[in-house]
Amino acid sequence: MTTPVLLVLDAEPPPRLGRLTGRVRIEHADESTLAERLPHADVLLVWDFTSHAVRKAWPGDGPRPRWVHTASAGVDHLMCPELAASDTVVTNARGVFDQPIAEYVAALVLALAKDLPRTLEFQWERTWRHRESRKVAGTRAVVVGSGPIGRAIDRTLKALDVTTALVGRTRRAGVHGPEDLDRLIARADWVIAAAPLTEQTRGMFDAHRFGVMQPSACFINVGRGPLVVEEALAEALRRRWITAAALDVFTSEPLDPASPLWEVPGLIVSPHMSGDTVGWRDELAQQFIQLYERWEAGQPLVNVVDKQRGYVPGH
The Cα angle at residue 144 between residues 139 and 146, in degrees rounded to 5: 110
Please tell me which residue in 94, 151, 209, 224 is annotated as part of the active site: 224
What are all long-range contacts of 269-274, with beta carbons under 8 Å and residues at least 24 apart? 270/246, 272/248, 273/104, 273/248, 274/97, 274/100, 274/101, 274/104, 274/105, 274/222, 274/248
Amino acid at 219: F
Instruction: Provide the residue count of the chain.
Output: 315
The Cα 98–Cα 151 span in angstroms is 8
Residues 6+ apart with CB under 8 A from 299: none
312 close to 291: Cβ distance less than 8 angstroms: no
Give strand ranges (E) for the chain: 5-9, 25-29, 43-46, 67-70, 89-91, 140-144, 163-167, 190-193, 218-221, 244-247, 267-269
Residue from 279, 193, 280 nearest 228 by CA:
193
HSE-up of 5 (CA within 13 Å, CB side)?
13
Please tell me which residue in 23, 66, 272, 281 is annotated as part of the active site: 272
253 among known catalytic residues: yes
Please tell me which residue in 253, 293, 296, 309 is annotated as part of the active site: 253
Catalytic residues: 224, 253, 272
